[in-house]
């Protein structure tokens, strides 16, 4: 299975937020765990039923969003992402 096929967006699931297919585990939850520095083993333990490939699919999804420049401010804007 292609990593991209592991992510689904369904308006009837988690208000349309991207999730790991067949679950209600949002991509943002997995990315937050990675950002906190949790090791893969702990992420898999904290989110039963997902696989290493599911976690990698979340990262690939985020990479695609950034590549599409979905979050970049417009040239006129001076918005800075809070962190």
CATH of the domain at 10: 1.10.10.10
Q: How confident is the model at residue 65 (pLDDT cuts 50, 70, 90)?
A: confident
7-53 tens-digit pLDDT: 999 999 999 999 999 999 999 999 999 999 999 999 999 999 999 99
pTM of the model: 0.80
The domain containing residue 45 runs over which residues?
3-67
Assess contact for 65 and 73: CB atoms under 8 A: no
- The answer to whether residue 76 is domain-embedded is no
Domain membership of residue 80 (yes or no) is: no
Domain count, the chain: 1
Please write the tens of the pLDDT for every residue from 21-30: 999 999 999 9
pLDDT band at 63 (very low <50, low <70, confident <90, very high): very high
As a whole-number percent, the residues of the chain with pLDDT over 90 amount to: 70
């Amino acid at each position: 299975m292609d990593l991209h096929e592991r992510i689904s967006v369904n308006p009837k699931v988690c208000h349309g937020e991207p999730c790991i297919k067949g679950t209600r585990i949002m991509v943002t939850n997995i990315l937050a765990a990675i950002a906190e520095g949790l090791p893969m083993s702990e992420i898999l333990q904290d989110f039963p039923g997902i696989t290493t490939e599911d976690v990698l699919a979340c990262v690939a999804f985020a990479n695609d969003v950034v590549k599409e420049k979905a979050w970049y401010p417009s040239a006129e804007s001076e918005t800075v992402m809070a962190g």
